[in-house]
């Protein structure tokens, strides 16, 4: 039973003991957990230090060659290292991985003209992940990828998490973010169907960084992944469904 947990950049710095306890319980109950993380705030900090602009379109970060080196430093050297260290401190055996290394996440360009060095995932090398999981480790993936020509690319971490879940045929995917779930017109949503999610993007109630998250959610649901959540650290936010709930 594979579970993917995507942890957003803004949440990484504020992870609570209760979250690690829940995670530990899942692992002790036999769930094979893979973590994929973002690093928005850390990337922005690195870009500012380098005097580079922060450009985001529909939740996707436009990534120049120079920006990519900031992205890599922030994601791999800082966010990934810190998270792995914290997990190990909390008694969870974690191993840090970078998606652009060992051909872990193979990509095409999403749209080179529009976004620059941003990847569209072609394949996830699940053998690496399965081997670590079998030895009781938790793989922790920094969301970068590699093209056929060997060029590194930035991948939206929600997209990377969704693609990893698809490749592993996971049973559960949790997108842990800085809101308690999806809100529509100020209202916390307990559950939403694919039709409602698409309509909410269309109506502008879901915007910015929530768009790639919901797009990843829809892809996971279309692949029949059972449990798909957008949530805060409590892991009890908005449950997303392929069909409208039967009454």
Ligand X SMILES: Nc1ncnc2c1ncn2[C@@H]1O[C@H](COP(=O)(O)OP(=O)(O)OP(=O)(O)O)[C@@H](O)[C@H]1O
Sites of contact with Mg ion (CB under 5 A): 209
- Decide: is 205 part of the binding site for ligand X (CB under 6 A): yes
CA distances from 241 to 45, 86, 181, 224 (A): 36, 32, 14, 10
Site map (CB under 6 A) of ligand X, residues 150-169, x = contact: -------xx-----------
Residue 77's closest CA among 101, 107, 113? 101
- Which segment (8-16, 103-111, 122-130, 239-247) binds ligand X by CB under 6 A? 8-16
In order, the DSSP letters of 47-59 are HHHTT----EETT
Closer residue to Mg ion in complex, CB, 60/138: 60
Structure-token pair, residue 142? 């920094």
- Which segment (6-14, 113-121, 163-171, 239-247) binds ligand X by CB under 6 A? 6-14
CA distances from 209 to 10, 90, 215 (A): 11, 29, 10
Sign of the alpha-carbon dihedral angle for 236, 128, 131, 171: positive
- Decide: is 179 part of the binding site for ligand X (CB under 6 A): yes
Interface residue with ligand X among 3, 34, 39, 138 (CB under 6 A) is 39
Smallest distance from ligand X to CB 238, Å: 8
Interface residue with ligand X among 2, 23, 35, 38 (CB under 6 A) is 38
């Amino acid at each position: 039973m594979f579970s993917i947990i995507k942890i957003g950049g803004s949440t990484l710095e504020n992870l609570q003991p209760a979250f690690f306890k829940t995670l530990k319980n899942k692992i002790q109950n036999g769930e094979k957990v893979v973590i994929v993380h973002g690093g928005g705030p850390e990337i922005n900090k690195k870009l500012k230090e380098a005097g580079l602009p922060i450009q985001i379109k529909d939740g996707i970060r436009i990534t120049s060659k120079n920006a990519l080196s900031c992205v890599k430093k922030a994601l791999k050297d800082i966010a990934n290292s810190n998270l792995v260290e914290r997990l190990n401190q909390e008694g969870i055996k974690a191993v840090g991985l970078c998606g652009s290394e060992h051909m872990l996440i193979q990509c095409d360009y999403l749209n080179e003209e529009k976004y620059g060095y941003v990847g569209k995932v072609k394949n996830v090398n699940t053998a690496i992940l399965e081997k670590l999981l079998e030895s009781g480790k938790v793989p922790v993936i920094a969301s970068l990828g590699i093209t056929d020509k060997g060029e590194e690319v930035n991948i939206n971490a929600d997209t990377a998490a969704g693609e990893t879940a698809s490749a592993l045929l996971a049973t559960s995917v949790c997108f842990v973010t800085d809101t308690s779930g999806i809100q529509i017109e100020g209202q916390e949503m307990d559950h939403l169907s694919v039709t409602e999610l698409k309509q909410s993007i269309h109506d502008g109630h879901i915007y910015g960084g929530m768009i790639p998250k919901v797009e990843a959610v829809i892809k996971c649901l279309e692949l029949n992944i059972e449990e798909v959540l957008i949530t805060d650290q409590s892991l009890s936010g908005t449950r997303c469904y392929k069909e409208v709930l039967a009454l």
